[in-house]
Amino acid sequence: MALKIVKGSIDRMFDKNLQDLVRGIRNHKEDEAKYISTCIDEIKQELKQDNIAVKANAVCKLTYLQMLGYDVSWAAFNIVEVMSSSKFTYKRIGYLAASQCFHESTDVIMLTTNQIRKDLSSPNQYDTGVALTGLSCFVTPDLARDLANDIMTLMSHTKPYIRKKAVLIMYKVFLKYPESLRPAFPRLKEKLEDPDPGVQSAAVNVICELARRNPKNYLSLAPLFFKLMTSSTNNWVLIKIIKLFGALTPLEPRLGKKLIEPLTNLIHSTSAMSLLYECVNTVIAVLISLSSGMPNHSASIQLCVQKLRILIEDSDQNLKYLGLLAMSKILKTHPKSVQSHKDLILQCLDDKDESIRLRALDLLYGMVSKKNLMEIVKKLMLHVDKAEGTTYRDELLTKIIDICSQSNYQYITNFEWYISILVELTRLEGTRHGHLIASQMLDVAIRVKAIRVFAVAQMATLLDNAHLLTGNMQRNGICEVLYAAAWICGEFSEHLENPLQTLEAMLRPKVATLPGHIQAVYVQNAAKLFATVLKSQEGNTDSTTAQETIQLMIDRLPLFVQSANLEVQERASCILQLVKYIQKLQQKDVAVAEEVIALFAGELNPVAPKAQKKVPVPEGLDLDTWINEPPSESESEDEQPKAIFAKEEPKHSRPRHTEVDEKELARRREARKQEQANNPFYIKASPSSQKVYQDTPGVEHIPVVQIDLTVPLKVPGLPMSDQYVKLEEERRQKERAEKKKEKKKRKEKRSGRGKKHDSGPESEEDITPAHMVDIVTEEMPENALPSDDDDKDPNDPHKALDIDLDNLVEMARRRPLADSEKLPVKSHRATEALKSPDGEAESTSQEAKKKSGKEKKEKKKDKDRDKKKSKDEKKKKKHKHEDKGLDLLGNQSDDAVNQSEGPSEVAAPPTSTAAEVTDLDFWLSNAPVPSNAQEAVTVAAAPVPEVASGSPPNSEPEESPKETETEESKSSKPKKKKQKKDKEEKEKKKKKKHHHHHHHHHHHHSDGGGEGSVQNGTVEEEEEPLPPMSNYCLLAENSYIKMMMEDADQVCDIQGNLQDGSQVVVSVIFENKCESFLKSMEFNVLDSLNSKLQRPEGAGPHDGLTVPFQLPPGVSNEARFVFSVQSIVMPQKLKGTLTFIVKNEESSTHEKLDFKLHFTCTSYLITTPCYSDAFAKLLECGDLKGSSVKLEGVNMPFHHLLARICFHHHFSVVERIDSCASMYSRSVQGHHVCLLVKTCGQTVSMDAKCDEPALLGNVLDEIKQTFSQC
């Protein structure tokens, strides 16, 4: 044994370590591959040894080789071995290798689960750290699921080092295992306020990342982040937070307003450029989101633009680049502010750095106006001439066209100018954007009728000089324009001055060297021209011209008939036959021109790019089935139609929008070649430096004489755009002069002494287009709407994380954390936490359900208790938004179970979304803001505890110091009682409640269900506001005190042990009606066999419970009492007494009040959501017994009816379809109660099923009673 160890260490001495390997590779430059392969062999040997040190060394070397690009996946198992070493030195090598080599499909990963879990819980923080780091690189969905709970525990580790890492890796876990988000979120949120800045920043990172994808779920965290933003000094964190706000503001404009100030402060104060840049970016984003309603932020915009200008003027290229980048964002909403910096941007076009030039170009795109378009384009044309390198020049070209054609040629005032620009662009050597120019030419000619004469003339010249363009076949990109030229000349041949000459040009033998699709257009349009010539010669007595033309056609067409391109061939032979026939007729002196013209009659209108998509698919046509078997891959590319761009709107016809088809691929391949050719670092495949275009059909066979043209070509006889600029200037001048004259005249007419008014720089509107521009819109199929329907990508991994976390409690209300959503826990751990006698799973789920039920209740109760809530909101507000928002679920259920609650607890936040949202409202509404917030204030300001109406607002000893504001509002607003008996006040109250309801309605409509059917939500979310409902009923009252009970509002079955009985919590509101102080209240109930009041340990069965508060005059407070109940199938009544001391200045007296507690069967029901499929199963199983009831004369909307049942009887709607709804509830002891409610006129029929008929009967009776009361 000892020998073995010695041997191992000796071996090791002779092994190469990483350094040796690196050195070796450097020494074997010439035969590196060979050397490495011997090394790999050695490593394989080393891996076979038992010594872990040797293995680790080998794995370390493998990591290096992997970096060099060698596949080391074969050693995956060895890596796992090294990972599981107990020594940190080796372990980290293993983890490093794993993080570099493992990926989701590495199968050994599943072997690592236990090892990683062990490492995560290792006492050595570095073990844990290295495991976390490694895990973040290779976490798989399985690992995420299995380890989520362990990592979550680590989030609360004592060492910040671990906490930080655990928090960060949680993001990866969420991505891989979205179910973990809900349970982990509360803790993650906690970490935002971790004392360690590192952990805090990690949490910020993760939440920012989550929020960026699904911002709406994180809106409620805004106050917290705001606090962090104003307090943090860490720039990295600040940047993240500011980014996050950028994502949130579009959802909540008020947030934006709040942000502007601190952000501008930061912009002013910070010296960190990265932070400045981020702030500017976010301010821009905020302003964009505000731009609709808030025009008064020009100061902020100005500030941003100024700062950006400084960046752009900076000598640091990085800043310049970013400045331009940010500038382009401003441009979108505030073009005016950017336009004033035109000089700077044009200057950037001369920059040495291409990426800066490209950014500047982008900016120019948005800066053009009618006024400066010509000037800018002129500058750009200059750059085109100067530009080195095709890429940049092509970029310029596309930009020019983009700029000119944007928003339907909005900025072009003179189309003659534009056409001449296009013609000038055809001089570009070696551009690959010929088709772009061509499609522009076509588009303009087709859509701007007034320009046709001019365009046709230009195109004719172009055709005439075609040899100059096509002289060099290498530049075939540009010959695409001939396609357009030929088509325009043919289609609008009536405008041609000399059609015969053009016809001649189109039939030159040289044309046969053009690409096939262009030839085809030539032939077809030659026929059109032919028809025009015939027509013009028709009346002519001298028929020689006509005959010559016919002869010309007959002579030249055979060339095309022989074309290799089928299309050309077909068209040519067709037309040739036609011409021959015409010749025959002509010889017989038959007038044929009309008929020939008729062949090409009719206007061709542009078709909208989306038109095809909008054509409805005829019935019975399946577009997805193959008509024939799919063609084989090897099909020659020559068969592909080359150009499809004719008659499409230019903006959309660009290749970037078209689907990636074969042709596109070919084009891109070509583009890539071109780029590679320009790239000095690319080793070219062919020895010649010439670019070879292999995929141009029909061209490669033609021997081409190279013409080397270094000087840009001037196409003779073509007008230059410059002259149009001049002309346009003159025209505008004239126009202006005329206008001025007119104005002057008018002025003089109006007031003789009128001062001369210089109209200053002309405004946009003043420039009238030179032509009456008639831009033809595209055709669409009937009934088609030109809407965009961009479908969202269903596979986005972040979609799974779109979970409403706004408030987990809120969610629990809707849907409890189901079993499946609990993080998987190894059972031995779980049992430590939960001491339930039942299975762990069951208790978890029950607990969850219980929570949900409670939450639901709570939310409803909120409505009745808004005063309390608002009180508390007030507090929160006072506490400078310190409020942490929601409590953890756990804490909360504890609260509910605790039978005695002090005053502070009663006032504790009813943690429902409503509170949360209004909270956000409060936070946002610090500034004077719209009605929404005002409303919130009113609600909040309205009332302190329930005070008998009319009684003067007495200050409460404990509350008054904090609540001065409340006091003010108290005096201004008479307090309302919730009780129904105050009829005259009910109206007002109703209004208030309605508002409140609207309020959270407004905030939550987004997460409601479908339209027709509502699933598992309360109906109230969807429909018009409901009348207020209260579950409180009067318990007893005397001159001193009033007791109101909510009928057993909280129902819990904590033990989950049904035989031992269940617990029912009763909330009782005590209200002091007299002028004296009430104290020493004791609550006692005479226990029955079935129901017992739960008393603290040691108390006898007849002892009363002390009510944990005293009541000053006019104040009310709430206490809760827990009862345990045996059987729940029958309603029960319990007799009770309340004793208390009435104390005033003179005396104190003992008083007593008797009451009867009424436990309805309803109170044993827990609102439990149920899914329709589960519901259906339940009904199918047949264990349930049915019963039904009919209610007559119910006069309320259906959704009110449902809401009432939900509210008073603790049901939840499973599904609702029109006037029919299925509802579900569950009793404390697990009885299912199903309800089918149908309404017809004033009759409501309810079919109910339950596994306990007695319970069902009672519940139905109670429902009946509820509706008979109203």
According to CB under 8 A, which residues from 379 to 398 bind other proteins? Answer: 398
Our finding on whether 541 is near other proteins (CB under 8 A) is no
DSSP H or E segment with residue 1133: strand 1132-1143
Query: Does residue 1056 touch other proteins according to CB under 8 A?
Result: no
Number of residues that bind other proteins (CB under 8 A): 88
Q: What's the min distance (Å) between Cβ of 821 and other proteins?
A: 22
- 201 belongs to the binding site for other proteins (CB under 8 A): yes
| Minimum separation from the CB atom of position 675 to other proteins (A) | 7
CA 394 – CA 433 distance, rounded (Å): 7
Smallest gap from Cβ 182 to other proteins, in A, equals 20
Residues 6+ apart with CB under 8 A from 345: 312, 324, 327, 360, 363, 364, 367
Tokens of 925: 């509404």
- Contact flag: residue 793 with other proteins (CB under 8 A): yes
- Residue 694 is a binding residue for other proteins (CB under 8 A): no
**What is the DSSP pairing of strand 1132-1143 with strand 1077-1085?**
antiparallel
State how far the Cα of 116 lies from the Cα of 107, in Å rounded to an integer.
15
**C-alpha to C-alpha distance for 81 and 91, rounded to whole angstroms:** 9
User: Please, what is the minimum distance in Å from the beta carbon of residue 241 to other proteins?
Assistant: 12
Q: Which of 589, 790, 1145, 1173 binds other proteins (CB under 8 A)?
A: 790
Other C-beta atoms within 10 Å of 639: how many? Answer: 10
Question: Between residues 236 and 1171, which has the closer beta carbon with respect to other proteins?
Answer: 236
Residue (366 or 1027) nearer to other proteins, CB: 366
Q: Is 765 or 793 the residue whose CB approaches other proteins more closely? A: 793
Instruction: Give the pair of three-digit tokens for residue 959.
Output: 């509350």
Nearest alpha-carbon partner for 979 in 1028, 1021, 1013, 1019: 1028
**Interface with other proteins includes 212 (CB under 8 A)?**
yes
Say whether residue 796 binds other proteins (CB under 8 A).
yes
CA distances from 407 to 423, 784, 1237 (A): 21, 21, 56
Question: Would you say 270 or 1266 has its CB closer to other proteins?
Answer: 270
Residue 661 burial (CB count, 10 A): 11
Alpha helices in 800-930 (DSSP H): 808-814, 827-833, 840-864, 866-878, 889-897, 903-906, 913-924
Q: Which is nearer to other proteins, 76 or 1069 (CB)?
A: 76
Closest distance between other proteins and the C-beta of residue 278, in Å? 5
- Residue 660 contacts other proteins per CB under 8 A: yes
Q: Which two tokens stand for residue 898?
A: 């605790």
Interaction of residue 137 with other proteins, rule CB under 8 A: yes
The verdict on 604 binding other proteins (CB under 8 A) reads no
- Distance in Å, CB of 270 to other proteins, minimum: 12
In the list 617, 618, 634, 681, the residue contacting other proteins (rule: CB under 8 A) is 681
Region of 414-422, 663-671, 1044-1052, 1096-1104 interacting with other proteins (CB under 8 A)? 663-671
Question: For residue 276, with 0-12 CB atoms within 10 Å meaning exposed, 13-18 middle and 19 or more buried, which class applies?
Answer: buried
In whole angstroms, how close is the CB of 986 to other proteins at the nearest point? 51
77 is an interface residue for other proteins by CB under 8 A: no
Q: Using CB under 8 A as the criterion, what x/- string covers residues 144-163 for binding other proteins?
A: -----------------x--
Report the b/e string of 93-113 with b at 16+ CB within 10 A: bbbbbbbbbbeeebebbeebe
- Contact call for residue 995 and other proteins (CB under 8 A): no
Give the burial class of 1090: count Cβ atoms within 10 A of its Cβ; 0-12 exposed, 13-18 middle, 19 or more buried.
middle
Per-residue binder mask for other proteins (CB under 8 A), 275-304, x = binder: --xx--------------------------
Contact residues for 629 (Cβ-Cβ < 8 A; gap 6+): none
Using the rule CB under 8 A, which residue among 39, 239, 437, 534 binds other proteins?
Answer: 239
1187 binds other proteins (CB under 8 A): no
Residue number with CB closer to other proteins (761 or 794): 794
Interaction with other proteins in 345-384: which residues (CB under 8 A)? 352-356, 358, 362, 365
> Whose CA is closest to 995, among 1042, 914, 932?
932
Using N-to-C axis directions, what is the helix angle for 273-290 and 298-313, rounded to 10°?
A: 140
Q: Is 129 near other proteins (CB under 8 A)?
A: yes
- Specify the DSSP class assigned to residue 775: B
**Per CB under 8 A, does 322 bind other proteins?**
yes
Residue ranges of alpha helices (H) inside 1108-1194 are: 1172-1180
Tell me the DSSP string of 439-472: HHHHHHHHHBGGGHHHHHHHHHHHHHTHHHHHSS
For the CB of residue 208, give the shortest distance to other proteins in the complex, in Å.
Answer: 7
Q: Which is nearer to other proteins, 664 or 1024 (CB)?
A: 664
Interaction between residue 126 and other proteins (CB under 8 A): yes
Q: Which is nearer to other proteins, 73 or 1243 (CB)?
A: 73
CA distances from 909 to 863, 892, 1163 (A): 13, 10, 24
Contact between 318 and other proteins (CB under 8 A)? yes
- Find the binding residues for other proteins in span 858-887 (CB under 8 A): none
Please, what is the minimum distance in Å from the beta carbon of residue 937 to other proteins? 36
Q: In angstroms, what is the minimal distance from the CB of 1010 to other proteins?
A: 23
In whole angstroms, what is the distance from residue 624 CA to residue 618 CA? Answer: 13
Task: Tell me whether residue 292 is exposed, middle or buried, using C-beta atoms within 10 angstroms of its C-beta: 0 to 12, 13 to 18, 19 or more.
Answer: exposed
Decide if residue 168 touches other proteins (CB under 8 A): yes
The answer to the question of residue 27 lying near other proteins (CB under 8 A) is no
Helix 317-333 × helix 298-313 angle, to 10°:
150
Closest approach, Cβ 117 to other proteins, in A, equals 19
Q: How far is the CB of 353 from other proteins (least distance, A)?
A: 4
Q: Please identify, among the stretches 89-97, 769-777, 1105-1113, 1149-1157, the one whose residues bind other proteins according to the rule CB under 8 A.
A: 89-97
Q: Which of 226, 321, 415, 1198 binds other proteins (CB under 8 A)?
A: 321
Angle, CA 358 vertex, CA 352 and CA 361 arms, to 5°: 115
Task: Please compute, for residue 532, the number of CA atoms within 13 A of its CA located in the half-sphere on the CB side.
Answer: 21
Binding segment (CB under 8 A) for other proteins, from list 133-141, 521-529, 693-701, 1075-1083: 133-141
Q: What separation, in Å, do the N-terminal and C-terminal C-alpha atoms of the chain show?
A: 92
Instruction: Decide if residue 164 touches other proteins (CB under 8 A).
Output: yes
Please count the CA atoms within 13 angstroms of the CA of 822 that sit on its side-chain side. Answer: 18
Which amino acid would we find at residue 1012? G
Return the residue of 171, 392, 487, 1040 that touches other proteins, per CB under 8 A: 171
For residue 512, state whether it binds other proteins (rule: CB under 8 A).
no
35 is a contact residue toward other proteins (CB under 8 A): no
508 vs 654 by CB, closer to other proteins: 654
Q: Which of 864, 1177, 1167 is nearest to 1030 (CA)?
A: 864
Q: What size, in residues, is the chain?
A: 1270
Task: Round to whole Å and give the CA distance between 853 and 847.
Answer: 10
Does 93 participate in binding other proteins (rule CB under 8 A)? yes
Q: With binding defined as CB under 8 A, does residue 797 bind other proteins?
A: yes
274 lies in the binding site for other proteins (CB under 8 A): yes
Q: How far is the CB of 585 from other proteins (least distance, A)?
A: 52
Among the listed residues 48, 613, 669, 1135, the single contact to other proteins using CB under 8 A: 669
Of residues 117, 157, 172, 1001, which one binds other proteins by CB under 8 A?
172
CB of 835 to other proteins, least distance (A): 37
**Element (H or E) spanning 25, and its range?**
helix 18-27
Least Å distance between CB 229 and other proteins? Answer: 15
